[in-house]
Amino acid sequence: MDAIVVGAGIVGAAVGEALAADGLAVTVLDAEFPGAGTTSAAMGHVVVMDDSEAQFALTGYSRRLWSERAAELPPDVEDECPGTLWVASDEEELEHAVRRSHFYRERGVEAEVLDSAALEKAEPNLRRGLAGALLVHGDRVIYPPNAARRLLSNAVVRGALAERRVRVEAIEPGRVRVNGSWRETAIVVNAAGVGAPELTPGLAIEPRKGHLVISDRYPGFCRHQLVELGYLKSAHSAGAESVAFNLQPRATGQVLVGSSREFVGLDRSTNRRLVGRMVRRAVDFVPALAALSVLRTWVGFRPSTPDNLPFIGEVDEGVFVAAGHEGLGITTALGTARLLADLVAGRVPEIDPSPYSPLRPMPEAQHG
Ligand SMILES: Cc1cc2nc3c(=O)[nH]c(=O)nc-3n(C[C@H](O)[C@H](O)[C@H](O)COP(=O)(O)OP(=O)(O)OC[C@H]3O[C@@H](n4cnc5c(N)ncnc54)[C@H](O)[C@@H]3O)c2cc1C
């Protein structure tokens, strides 16, 4: 059976790899080149999240799949396992951390609560007087564009074709249109990220812009992925824009500072005011950041959905979607690919696919 995957971001690359592993004759097409889209703009935090049971199921499953293949990832994927410290500013947030630690431990995810003194010891550059933190062991950091390239090259080793600079103009059951001509195929997978609704009209995906800032090399500046517990408020705020403290140690010794969220379409310009807010938020948590030199700032577009869950599944006969992963597509690429390959093959997936069905009813998007 033939399959065409549209989009060679981390999701399309992972889907291509999984379908090729099942013995399908796969072609992965990208309008630009592998990893050219949101994947290149991401932080690469592979993180278990618990905003909903369905989000927990997919992130937990996918994180396990990343950990299982850690030994086979080449050095340029920069895979590390620093864990995540969810920082609590006050007692109320610390109580939330305790509740989350129970939720994780009951479901087999290793997590512990640190008090203020233990947090100071774990991350000496955090400001004094924080209430504590939730430490989630096993969360990873990878370098997303190289991870995507690796997954795609695994697909190619299994016989897949990868074509760059091929823009798909339309998708129909059994075929895709490129340069006005139709290419026939049994299976089509729309993994075009924020471009997915152009090919599957009605798919509720909207670009949610984010900025990141990267520093020069300061090895050891921080040791864990650091995120404020208020992050979820930012990630799911209905408002038009928000920032949250999110700091990542890179394998290169650099420090990656995030994150911002705004709905402004595909405007690539740097919102200096919002970056200013984002950096001030980070300096508020880590005062020593103010002394580091910054090398670069960039933007990317999270493919967001109204209920914060991706679309994974069949929308028409032989036409599948794997898109809409918002800020978790690096984390969930491997789980998405397994789920999708199981659905294509008619196998029973390891996790229930129904919460991610592209045909599920959608709440109205609330932002504006
Ligand atoms: C600032 C920021 C930080 C982030 N941090 C993290 C993080 O720490 N952890 C995490 O898990 N996630 C993170 N994310 C989210 C993550 O980057 C995305 O969820 C993920 O990259 C989506 O991957 P994708 O393959 O669906 O889309 P993309 O990477 O955008 O890939 C889609 C591909 O489709 C191609 N395409 C589009 N239309 C067509 C067409 N018509 N024909 C052919 N090709 C087409 C594009 O060229 C592109 O290469 C972050 C995102 C941002 C913006």
Structure confidence by residue, pLDDT tens digits, 73-103 = 999 999 999 999 999 999 999 999 999 999 9
Q: Whole-model pTM?
A: 0.97
Residues 59 and 147 in one domain: yes
Residues 240 and 350 in one domain: no
CA distance 44 to 81: 12
Domain containing 117 equals 80-138+206-304
Phi, psi of 96 (to 5 degrees): -60, -40
Residues 199 and 220 in one domain: no
Ligand 1 pocket member 212 (CB < 6 A): yes
Sequence-ordered strand ranges (E) for 158-287: 161-163, 168-172, 175-178, 181-184, 187-190, 206-217, 225-228, 241-249, 254-262
Nearest CA owner, ligand 1 atom 31? 9
Residues 316 and 296 in one domain: no
Last residue of a domain, one of 286, 304, 322: 304
Question: What's the CA-to-centroid distance between 144 and ligand 1, angstroms?
Answer: 10
Do 143 and 76 meet the contact criterion of CB atoms below 8 Å apart?
yes
Ligand 1 pocket member 30 (CB < 6 A): yes
Nearest to 168 by CA among 145, 195, 186: 195
Last residue of a domain, one of 284, 304, 324: 304
Ligand 1 pocket member 8 (CB < 6 A): yes
72, part of any domain = no
Ligand 1 pocket member 324 (CB < 6 A): no
Question: What's the CA-to-centroid distance between 112 and ligand 1, angstroms?
Answer: 32
Residues 117 and 221 in one domain: yes
The pLDDT of residue 231 is: 73
Question: What's the CA-to-centroid distance between 132 and ligand 1, angstroms?
Answer: 33
Residues 291 and 149 in one domain: no
Beta bridge partners of 211: 299
Instruction: Report residue 290 as tokens.
Output: 């103010």
Q: Is 144 exposed, middle or buried (0-12, 13-18, 19+ CB in 10 A)?
A: buried
Residues 260 and 317 in one domain: no
Residues 333 and 292 in one domain: no
What CATH number does the domain containing 245 carry?
3.30.9.10
Residues 323 and 343 in one domain: yes
Ligand 1 pocket member 358 (CB < 6 A): no
Ligand 1 pocket member 40 (CB < 6 A): no
74, part of any domain = no
Ligand 1 pocket member 60 (CB < 6 A): no
CA distance 28 to 199: 15
Residues 160 and 231 in one domain: no
Ligand 1 pocket member 11 (CB < 6 A): yes
Instruction: Report residue 151 as tokens.
Output: 């997954």
Q: Is 158 helix (H, G, I), strand (E, B) or coil?
A: coil
181, part of any domain = yes
Residues whose CB falls within 8 Å of the CB of residue 165, separated by 6 or more in sequence, listed in order: 30, 31, 32, 33
Ligand 1 pocket member 283 (CB < 6 A): no
Last residue of a domain, one of 285, 304, 323: 304
Question: What count of Cα atoms within 13 Å lies in the side-chain half-sphere of residue 173?
Answer: 5
Ligand 1 pocket member 94 (CB < 6 A): no
Q: Which ligand 1 atom sits nearest the alpha carbon of residue 209? A: 53
Q: Which ligand 1 atom sits nearest the alpha carbon of residue 191? A: 26
Nearest to 235 by CA among 307, 286, 134: 307
157, part of any domain = yes
Residues whose CB falls within 8 Å of the CB of residue 254, separated by 6 or more in sequence, listed in order: 214, 215, 216, 217, 218, 295
Q: How many CB atoms lie within 10 A of CB 341?
A: 23
Most informative mutation of 32, 38, 248, 339 for ligand 1 (most atoms within 8 A of CB): 38
Read off the pLDDT of residues 266-289 as tens digits, 9 standing for 90 and up: 999 999 999 999 999 999 999 999
Q: Is 339 helix (H, G, I), strand (E, B) or coil?
A: helix
The pLDDT of residue 237 is: 66
Ligand 1 pocket member 3 (CB < 6 A): no
What CATH number does the domain containing 314 carry?
3.50.50.60
295, part of any domain = yes
Ranges of residues in the chain whose predicted pLDDT is under 70? 232-239, 365-368
Nearest CA owner, ligand 1 atom 2? 42
CA distance 351 to 338: 10
Which DSSP state fits 114? E
Most informative mutation of 150, 302, 339 for ligand 1 (most atoms within 8 A of CB): 302
Question: What's the CA-to-centroid distance between 282 and ligand 1, angstroms?
Answer: 25
Domain count, the chain: 2
The pLDDT of residue 171 is: 98
Measured in whole angstroms, the distance separating CA 73 from the mean position of its chain's CA atoms is 18
Residues 85 and 114 in one domain: yes
The pLDDT of residue 238 is: 58
Q: Is 24 helix (H, G, I), strand (E, B) or coil?
A: coil
Residues 127 and 167 in one domain: no
347, part of any domain = yes
Nearest CA owner, ligand 1 atom 9? 45
Nearest CA owner, ligand 1 atom 33? 7
Ligand 1 pocket member 15 (CB < 6 A): no
Ligand 1 pocket member 44 (CB < 6 A): yes
73, part of any domain = no
